[in-house]
Structure 1
Amino acid sequence: MDNFKAFMSSIQLYFWAKSDVFSYYSNKKIFLGAHLLDSASIWFTSIVENNDPCLEKYESFILQFRSNFSDPNISTNARGMIRKCRQDSRSVSAYATEFIILGRNSGIDQLIY
């Protein structure tokens, strides 16, 4: 699974659970930035120090973050993995879980609607 997607899922869950604290976008950016590691942390420090315009809006910030750290080929890769996905000797539950995750990552649900 894409580390970016897993990280953002965890962050979004936390924002949802603490919606009273994260009603302001600035709190979201600060919290997210404080939980970045390695090159992502260096990137965040750089945009803060340079007062980058992407910090003005949360959506712009997330767009920049995504373009720098997510896998641009995640949907293509997931579609290929769906074609190779087999149950083999694992449980139906494990197989179904992998298939559902790959389906979501593939973006196929967005193509249908």
Structure 2
Amino acid sequence: MNQLPPHLVPHGTAIYNTLQQIAGGIGIALFVGIMSSGANRYLHRSLDPVAFEDKPQSIVAGLQTVFGIECILSILVLVLGWFINGRLGAPISLKRKNPKTWCLRVLKHLFRRYL
């Protein structure tokens, strides 16, 4: 946000907050699905899938799967961040010539290091 001109900071903040909420919702849904899959996989491997005492352990197995995937993703993001840091593209003009494309220009400016 520091690189945006002052008149585009509110728009950049709105876009960032919206994308953060959407990504959070998708991430929670994805990890709950992975946890359920891990719990079901544990129950299918147990001797008696209907037994009550296996259900808490199956939830723990699902959570361990989710935390393992989160750990791998965190390491991957740290490695990518290490290599992407400092690779900035050419500055994009953010002058408001066409009001219909201001959102596209703000997105390009915010994510220029990934494009």
Q: How does the TM-score come out when normalised to structure 1? A: 0.34
- Larger relative CO (CA 8 A, sep 6+): 1 or 2? 2
| TM-score, scaled relative to structure 2 | 0.34
